[in-house]
Structure 1
């Protein structure tokens, strides 16, 4: 019989969960504010999308090296230092006097993001007893999920009412509060990291892991070719008023929670069928985005299916990675997963901008769908025998 988690375990875990919410909210806020930011700096939404690309590629480049460097620093100091950089760079975003300044501040946030997601899950597990480790990991995932449901829509609502800079300020203030909180409640723990850089070649010899990474890159590229410009698409193509765009983005996140539930319900017993359904369903949702734009209810339904498939992919492919590497290598494998996913985010944002600028905003769903279909066919061929 399991014992209840003690207050000493709950307190740091709550701080880590809120931190996960803030980091993920900060990553996706600019998507919901892209039009306002571009208008403020007298540029197009496609041009402003460069900051999303810069953020993602920074995470891509730094996730693995910073994960390895994290092994050398006392965990509590690293966590507090990371949140200090994160909070300070949010303030720099607020006072940015030009678009290049804003991009630099976002790169600073991306550096903090890289370190945080390299250490978040391992630290969450270490602040609780062994019997509560799964609950600790679930808490971190919950913070991420809530960010998808509420983070970007709330940030957009704040931005629309009092300006996009105030959205970043709200994140900064809450982050500093959490930083002080964790300084008091987070325990001092010793470094016991067992993975070394010499073990990296073994990961890259794992064929199942490499296929998973390829599919992840293609999925994220197709996803963000469309999602990075979903706000201007809903406004200009579907004709949604601003408040309905916010509601649709929130419903997108709420639907994502259903994807997490479906994963827990069906993945273990129907792994192959579940993964294929997620990938082909996601491609179908992207492909139907423009045809569905003629009707408000149709496009909201498509976005809901899209949100379900997006969260189901995240959970199922993290499970795929954990299932094909050793326990000691799992954190490094997940850091690489994060880097590759963010490479896809940056690539997709860039590609979506190219489509938007040189052809039409109408086509971003079709382009994204074609890329995800490639991922789906690779998965169908390669995962069937695994």
Structure 2
């Protein structure tokens, strides 16, 4: 399998983009899944809601701190194989949750997911642009990011509902099954993509000398920090204060 001819059009030309969009949906659904299930998880593990909330906080810090080193470490790896390996580890980490009967075990499983998340988004946007049909790179990138947005809007409520029906561990298990399905889809539709201009630690000083990039970093940190500060505990806030 080789990189697709950029002159191809039609539905088949969009299959790699569709596969990546589903992958983005699954990854972000998992990221936000504990938000809606936080009270259920805390009650099941006999922990306080604030203590259980650390599975969200630690997850976020692992992603923030490990994205750069893990991206550099995997910079030379072929992207299709790397993505398939990430999806396999991602799914396995969700299956482990079935045996997570303590806070420590659950935290360990979530840290494993965070490692995959750290690399996933570092390779996802370049892949979306490279595999989109000719002249449709911007639309391909928007479609993949749309999968992430849909996960926030629909994936979290659906995951929360599933957790109420089959238990919070069952909800994580279903996300793992979805990841395996996406893995099969990616295997068949995504072409081989050799690493191209992945960057290195040597390029960081140059990047930090560009004011627009530094401003973008600071804006991203501010927005994401504010979002997660309010969003992480939205379930207990709605239940205990809003009476929902």
Same fold (TM over 0.5): yes
> For residue 19 of structure 1, what is the aligned residue in structure 2?
23
- CA shift in 2, pair 1:46/1:78, >3 Å: same
> For residue 172 of structure 1, what is the aligned residue in structure 2?
176
Of 226, 229, 244 in structure 2, the residue corresponding to residue 225 of structure 1 is 229
- My pick for the range that moved more, 110-119 or 183-192, is 183-192
Question: Separation in 1 of the partners of 2:41 and 2:207?
Answer: 41
**Where do residues 50-69 of structure 1 align in structure 2 (5 Å cutoff)?**
50-69=54-73
Deviations 1:213-239 (A, max 9, x none): 233323333332221111111111111
Question: Separation in 1 of the partners of 2:110 and 2:200?
Answer: 30
Tell which has more relative contact order, 1 or 2 (C-alpha 8 A, sep 6+): 2
Deviations 1:168-207 (A, max 9, x none): 0111111111112211221112222263322210111223
Deviations 1:109-167 (A, max 9, x none): 01111111010111111113440111110111110111011011000001112210111
> For residue 75 of structure 2, what is the aligned residue in structure 1?
71
> For residue 32 of structure 1, what is the aligned residue in structure 2?
36
Question: Separation in 2 of the partners of 1:7 and 1:181?
Answer: 15
Aligned residue pairs, count: 238
Are 1:100 and 2:117 counterparts?
A: no
> For residue 91 of structure 2, what is the aligned residue in structure 1?
87
Larger radius of gyration: 1
Of 117, 120, 126 in structure 1, the residue corresponding to residue 124 of structure 2 is 120
State the TM-score, normalizing by the size of structure 2: 0.92
- CA shift in 2, pair 1:194/1:147, >3 Å: closer
How many angstroms does 1:4 deviate by? 7.5
Question: Separation in 2 of the partners of 1:125 and 1:216?
Answer: 21
- CA shift in 2, pair 1:201/1:106, >3 Å: same
Two-structure CA RMSD over aligned residues (Å): 1.6
Q: Which runs of 5+ in 2 are unaligned?
A: 1-6
- CA shift in 2, pair 1:125/1:222, >3 Å: closer
Deviations 1:290-323 (A, max 9, x none): xxxxxxxxxxxxxxxxxxxxxxxxxxxxxxxxxx
Q: Is the 8 A contact 2:76 2:198 kept in 1?
A: no
State the TM-score, normalizing by the size of structure 1: 0.59
Question: Separation in 1 of the partners of 2:158 and 2:66?
Answer: 29
Are 1:135 and 2:139 counterparts?
A: yes
Q: Extract structure 1 runs of 4+ deviating beyond 4 A.
A: none
Q: Is the 8 A contact 1:70 1:119 kept in 2?
A: no
> For residue 330 of structure 1, what is the aligned residue in structure 2?
none
Question: Separation in 2 of the partners of 1:63 and 1:194?
Answer: 13
Question: Separation in 1 of the partners of 2:136 and 2:182?
Answer: 23
- CA shift in 2, pair 1:209/1:8, >3 Å: same
Of 196, 199, 202 in structure 1, the residue corresponding to residue 203 of structure 2 is 199
> For residue 4 of structure 2, what is the aligned residue in structure 1?
none
> For residue 44 of structure 1, what is the aligned residue in structure 2?
48
